[in-house]
Amino acid sequence: MNARVVFTLAAVVLAGPAFAQAKGRLNLPEFAALADKASETVSVTLDANLLGMGCRFLNGADPEEAAAKKLCTSLSGIYVRHYSFDTDYAYPKGDVDGVRKQLSRPGWSRIVEARSNKENTTVDVFVLIEGDKAQGLSIIASEPREFTIVNIVGNIDLEQLHDLEGKFGVPDLEIETSKKPAASAKPSPAPAPVPVPTPAPAPTKPK
């Protein structure tokens, strides 16, 4: 077997995972060099197999965990990267922008865009739609001293995403949906009681 054939076969084998990559999944850097700099680190990498194992540990008797269990069984991956630092911009902003550029590919649509020039914060939420279904969700939130990247892959029901908050490293997604309970209205104050005048005592007749 000549060297050209060997190199061709090796390239096909190495490229296999990229071809098999699920729709909606981003190529997230490992940010390995940031672990020593960060004061807080969260790195979650759950493919379909690991996610299936994790779903089995959720308590189906608890209503909240039962809802999360039902949702996560329809997913094929959850990937989270979060780093906090003690100084401003201790992380490579270009790496975060590189992930954001992936979301300009066809199919991705931004559904939330939030900017604060005063606090130098940026939050973007994107969904990948195919037909009438969401196949991917990505959130990129950056501040001077921290950044968070969330990538959820699979058949996603946006109305149920709140059930994943706090599980598998998924932070508060802060996505408004029609099923999110509205704040209860404050009861109207009761009207003030109307004072009833006390009748004056009848005059006594002189004896």
pLDDT tens column, 131-160: 778 889 999 999 999 999 999 998 877 776
Q: Could you tell me which of 87, 91, 92, 60 has the C-alpha nearest to residue 163?
A: 60
Asked whether the whole model's pTM tops 0.85, one would answer no
Tell the burial category of 108 from Cβ atoms under 10 Å away from its Cβ (0-12, 13-18, 19+). Answer: middle
| More confident site: 175 or 8 | 175
Query: Please, what is the Cα angle at 38 between 37 and 40, to 5 degrees?
Result: 160
Per-residue pLDDT of 18-75, as tens digits, reads 333 578 999 998 888 888 899 999 998 988 888 877 777 676 667 767 766 776 777 8
What order of strands is seen across the sheet that includes strand 121-130? Answer: 40-46, 75-84, 146-156, 133-143, 121-130, 108-116
